[in-house]
């Protein structure tokens, strides 16, 4: 069972790389090329929210106890961000199946939702890892971040000539989390009451 869980978690992280990073990057360049403001605005909002996911990876490298909890919050927020905007949702409904950009965007939104829910279900099976990632039972959740740790460590050494360690990753993650939280609170207090669920992507001539 442990081998199955380990394989399942590893696969979830691999799918995350594809659909949380790879596909959005592709759609971002595609929407710019097609000059589709709705998809471009959707991806712009997505990238801002997805910063929390990258922060959680730093916290996983730093073995911060609540890293898995933050990872799940980040994937849920990312899912909410691609369904939240009423004007973008209405715009996407106007395109038929033959318009490949919006069709791919719709498929990606549903896939992202599935991955997010699947990730949450898997995490709940190891509920104690939400608050104590350093236990032996939670080691399988830290393994996928080990390759990222090696990559960042080599990159850090190349650019700065210094060693990138787990405490440094934890510090950078917590500092970034503080800045991110302050930004999210500011948006919730100032912009959300003013704009509601409108992204205003079309305010400069809708395409």
- CA separation, residue 111 to residues 28, 49, 81, 82 (Å): 17, 17, 14, 11
Q: What is the pLDDT of residues 131-141, one digit of tens each?
A: 898 888 888 88
**The tokens 């009423």 sit on which residue?**
86
Q: What is the pLDDT of residues 32-42, one digit of tens each?
A: 999 999 999 99
Pick the more confident residue, 128 or 151. Answer: 128
Number of separate helices (H) and strands (E) present in the chain: 10, 0
Q: What is the pLDDT of residues 75-110, one digit of tens each?
A: 999 999 999 999 999 999 998 888 899 999 999 999
pLDDT for the residue numbered 207: 39
Q: What is the pLDDT of residues 48-82, one digit of tens each?
A: 999 999 999 999 999 999 999 999 999 999 999 99
**3-class SS shares of the chain: helix, strand, coil, % to 5:** 80, 0, 20
């Amino acid at each position: 069972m442990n081998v199955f869980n380990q394989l399942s978690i590893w696969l979830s992280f691999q799918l995350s790389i594809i659909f949380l990073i790879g596909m959005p990057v592709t759609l971002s360049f595609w929407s710019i090329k097609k000059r589709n403001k709705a998809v471009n605005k959707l991806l712009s909002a997505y990238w801002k929210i997805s910063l929390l996911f990258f922060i959680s990876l730093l916290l996983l490298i730093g073995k911060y106890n609540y890293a898995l909890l933050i990872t799940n919050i980040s994937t849920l927020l990312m899912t909410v961000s691609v369904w939240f905007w009423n004007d973008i949702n209405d715009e996407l409904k106007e395109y038929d199946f033959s318009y490949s950009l919006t069709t791919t965007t719709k498929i990606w939104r549903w896939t992202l939702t599935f991955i997010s829910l699947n990730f949450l279900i898997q995490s709940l099976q190891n509920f104690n890892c939400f608050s104590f990632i350093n236990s032996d039972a939670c080691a399988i959740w830290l393994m996928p971040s080990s390759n990222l740790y090696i990559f960042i460590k080599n990159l850090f050494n190349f650019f700065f000539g210094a060693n990138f360690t787990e405490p440094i990753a934890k510090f950078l993650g917590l500092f970034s989390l503080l800045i991110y939280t302050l930004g999210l609170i500011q948006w919730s207090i100032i912009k959300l009451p003013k704009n509601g669920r409108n992204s205003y992507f079309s305010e400069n001539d809708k395409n």
